[in-house]
Amino acid sequence: MTENPIMKRRTFLKSLLGLALGSSAAGAGGALYAHSVETAWLDIERLQLPVKNLGADLEGLKIVQLSDLHLYPHTQLDYIQDVVATARELQPDLVALTGDYVLANAEAIFDLAPALTAINPRYGFFAVLGNHDLWTNERIVQRGLEEAGIRLLKNEGLALGIGRDRLYIAGVDDGWSGRPDLTQAMAQHPGDAPTLLLAHEPDLADRFASDERVSIQLSGHTHGGQVRLPGYGALVLPRLGRKYDLGLYQVGAMWLYTNRGVGVIGPPIRLNCRPELTELTLVRA
């Protein structure tokens, strides 16, 4: 039987991690750290993004991005609730959710989505689906988000009015197993608003940057690799996440930010790649 790509990735990651820890003084202590410490050591990344044509009433708009929460079996609800409490303290104007809410069981969304609503952003939640959401059960994940009042954008967008100005928020379907369609997502664009695009996989940016109306793309998917070695980087990265694996990039005239994620896939370890909550503040270019 041929091993599927996800299992290949996990097996490869386990092997390389074993080599990395075995060749250092870390040994068992390093493995314990990677499994039990860094996986729950949340990092808050803060950055300002200068945006062309940003109206005065959008100046200082605060966006909190959460991605790849992967509730159950490795990531537990009490940890998610701690992340939510931290996000709430940031008092975001809106929350961007960039996919992969579940890992093994789509029903986990009915625990996750209500927990997220405690963040209480001023202008609400906007979400897209990731590959694991489609691989478990897309309809169940979608229903769980919608029942919690989280706006799911699947190849669609809307103009959010803030004062006298508008921010267009667009979201596309998953790039690995779905059918992302930026043209459809931009169909309601008013023509005079900067655009925040949510897309689970970051490497789609090379395609999406050709639309000059898109100011910012927010993505996740990569987990930053979960394990990164000094001078080398990520040991293994997923499809559509190998070029822009973490952090801030400029792709053409568009900003791209790749979030390292909150949860983990198996093996449930992180090394030099802490879980992330991102605070982005929009400023006029």
Q: Are 209 and 253 in contact (CB under 8 A)?
A: yes
Of 200, 263, 278, residue with least CA distance to 70: 263
For the whole model, what pTM was predicted? Answer: 0.91
Question: Residue 1: its pLDDT value, please?
Answer: 37
Q: pLDDT 10s per residue in the chain (285 long)?
A: 344 545 555 554 555 555 455 555 445 566 777 877 899 999 999 999 999 999 999 999 999 999 999 999 999 999 999 999 999 999 999 999 999 999 999 999 999 999 999 999 999 999 999 999 999 999 999 999 999 999 999 999 999 999 999 999 999 999 999 999 999 999 999 998 999 999 999 999 999 999 999 999 999 999 999 999 999 999 999 999 999 999 999 999 999 999 999 999 999 999 999 999 999 999 999
Question: Residue 13: its pLDDT value, please?
Answer: 55
Beta-carbon contacts of 41 under 8 Å, excluding residues fewer than 6 positions away, are 274, 275
φ, ψ dihedrals at 107, nearest 5°: -65, -15
Question: Residue 203: its pLDDT value, please?
Answer: 98
SS3 for 252?
coil
Question: Residue 33: its pLDDT value, please?
Answer: 78
**What whole-number distance in Å separates Cα of residue 153 and Cα of residue 69?**
18
Question: Residue 219: its pLDDT value, please?
Answer: 99
Strand 125-127 with 94-97, pairing: parallel
Question: Residue 18: its pLDDT value, please?
Answer: 57
**What whole-number distance in Å separates Cα of residue 282 and Cα of residue 147?**
30
